[in-house]
Amino acid sequence: MNIAVCVKQVIDTEAEKRLDPATWRLDRNVTCILNPYDEYAVEEALRIKEAHGGEVTAVCMGPQKAEDAVRKSLAMGVDSAVLVVDEALTGSDVQATAYVLAEALKGIQWDLVIFGVRSTDGETGCVPAAVAERLGVPLLSTLAKVEVQGSSVAVHRETEQGYVSYECPLPAVLSVIKGINEPRYPSMKGIMGAKKKPLDVKDASALGLDTAQVGLSGSKTKVLSARIPEPRKAGVKIEDDGTGAQKIVEFLASQKLV
């Protein structure tokens, strides 16, 4: 059972998010971390490997410093990694990113590809689906439980009402949600051993990518503008002196809500 786990480096969830007004791209010159949702994906991959054997490979696209996020996955126990770094990829949208990841995935052995449900910066949650489409394999997304049974996988797909059980033959692409497991801390030996594990850094030409399909210019979506939401205004506090209900109705009416 070989597993590829796709990981992304994101800006620290506690860091202030700033957009570059020229490109509307996120300023990444702040503390960056492994996308928290990807930690669940890495943990799930490691648990499947521990139960069924095989190898886990991390696949990442990003700037050179995304190596830190990849190293963390290696420190957690991932066996090897592929990091795709190329200036030409900067600004890639969902489809362009999916194209790059799919091409990188074609270069390695896997029965399962596991993603975190979304990144905490882009927040689209669409990359797993786009990658599955390009690879021509089934997608099972927003999973709260994954069980590999021989050459198929049984999953719980979380919905607003509960969950739906699916079974699916391998190979497949999965995306997992927070709470599917408790991601492990990298051990000290894991950290010290991470730099000895194979990390294959590839550029666009090494993957044979068509550069017209990647980067800001190769992306089909264009960000026209963006703005920071106005800070939420303080609410109106109504003390109930017997006329509370009346005042609430008046307020709702004044907002044309009733």
Residue of 16, 136, 161, 188 interacting with another protein (CB under 8 A): 188
CB of 221 to another protein, least distance (A): 33
Give the nearer residue to another protein in terms of CB position, either 60 or 194. Answer: 194
> Is the previous residue joined to 171 through a cis bond, with omega within 30 degrees of 0?
yes
Residue of 61, 88, 194, 214 interacting with another protein (CB under 8 A): 194
- Give 147's strand partners: 154
Residue of 8, 49, 71, 118 interacting with another protein (CB under 8 A): 71
Q: Own/partner pairs for 118-124, CB < 8 Å, 24+ apart? A: 118/37, 118/175, 119/8, 119/10, 119/35, 119/37, 119/38, 120/10, 120/13, 120/35, 120/36, 120/37, 121/10, 121/11, 121/17, 121/26, 121/35, 122/94, 124/94
Residue 192 in the binding site for another protein (CB under 8 A): yes
Lay out the site mask for another protein across 75-94 (x = CB under 8 A, - = otherwise).
x-------------------
Residue 191 in the binding site for another protein (CB under 8 A): yes
Residue 72 in the binding site for another protein (CB under 8 A): yes
Chain contacts with another protein (rule: CB under 8 A): 68, 71-72, 75, 185-192, 194-195
